[in-house]
Amino acid sequence: MLSDRVRMDAYYNAIFENKHHFRGKKAVLDVGTGSGILAIWSAQAGARKVYAVEATKMSEHARELVKANNLQDIVEVIEGSVEDVTLPEKVDVIISEWMGYFLLRESMFDSVISARDRWLKPTGVMYPSHARMWMAPIRSGLVDQKKNDYEGSMNDWLCFVNETKNDYGVDMSVLTKPFSEEQRKYYLQTSLWNNLHPHQVVGTAAIIKEIDCLTATVDDICEVRSNFSSSILIENTRLCGFGGWFDVHFRGRSDNPAQQEIELTTAPSLDSSTHWGQQVFLLHPPFRTSEGDDVNVSFLMNRSKENHRLMEVDLGCEIRQSSGKLLPLFKNKFYIE
């Protein structure tokens, strides 16, 4: 992540082009400080005090980095969960790089909300201040690869069943259905991390969720529900699925805005990919589409009951061709793991 120049430049520019949020008598809380880089920049931008909270032993490395940069009198590294730590004062700024794949995987924003509600002054600022989730129709050769992988796995299983019965006298075929369901989930229903080329986006992108980091609650992000439409922009192409990405903005707040608004985007790009990439939901089978076709999508994302850091998605897709013909509704369940 420290080598992700898009990520690093966005936070660096957000801090140093908006020093008025940090300098002087300002106190800052860095949630999930990791290496401590955001805490160090906050101190270099003029903060009086920075509390850098890290739940893991990475805090030991952060403490060494702070000391090596002669900021130990300003930056205090605290090892522990931000839900449990106690600070001696309220803070003027909460800064955090909390974003997971497709924004909400990992559920780290919960901790940022907890920190905000406990420690941010009524006039305080969130860094970042806003976030958005996007989706768009895509084409991808991965749809064929994953189908071939699934079929290859099933062929291997059937060979195994036959060999086991012929060589050892045990019929394993009763397990074919659960094995198929397991392999289908792994190959066909688990969303993929991918760096999409912009040319793979074949339709208009839509915002499916907007978050104000100053007011959002955990309930607001536990479920993401959206009904959106997209128009196909390319003649005679395959709709292979949907790509999802996010952006975050550093805007300050309405009564204390940023002097220079900064955006960090994970959208498909020719020259500025990020470690987040995009989340890809593949359709099996893909659809043949043409320019002017309308794609109507119902999207519902919830946290997995088994692991709240992971996500489950119900996606419905209906295509109305430019001729007026309506293709059959497609529904599937996906897993963000």
Say how far apart CA 226 and CA 262 lie, in whole Å. Answer: 26
Cα distance from N-terminal residue to C-terminal residue, the chain:
19
Choose, from 17, 106, 291, 337, the residue flagged as catalytic. 106
Say how far apart CA 177 and CA 150 lie, in whole Å. Answer: 14
Sole residue written with tokens 């479920």: 223
Q: Can you name the residues that pair with 207 across neighbouring β-strands?
A: 134
Quote the tokens at residue 173. 């075929």
Which residue type occupies 87? L
Contact 240, 311 (CB under 8 A): no
SS (H, E, C) 266-279: CCCCCCCCCCCCEE
Quote the tokens at residue 200. 């793979």
Which residue type occupies 158? L
Contact 202, 289 (CB under 8 A): yes
Largest CA distance in the chain: 80
To the query of whether residue 210 is one of the catalytic residues in this protein, the response is: no
SS (H, E, C) 242-294: EEEEEEEEEEEECCEEEEEEEEEECCCCCCCCCCCCEEEEEEEEEEEECCCCE
Say how far apart CA 305 and CA 248 lie, in whole Å. Answer: 27
Contact 113, 216 (CB under 8 A): yes
Q: Can you name the residues that pair with 265 across neighbouring β-strands?
A: 247
Q: Can you name the residues that pair with 174 across neighbouring β-strands?
A: none
Say how far apart CA 18 and CA 197 lie, in whole Å. Answer: 32
Say how far apart CA 130 and CA 146 lie, in whole Å. Answer: 35
Q: Can you name the residues that pair with 224 across neighbouring β-strands?
A: 301
To the query of whether residue 97 is one of the catalytic residues in this protein, the response is: yes
Quote the tokens at residue 145. 């690869």
Question: Would you please indicate which residues are annotated as catalytic (active-site) residues?
Answer: 97, 106
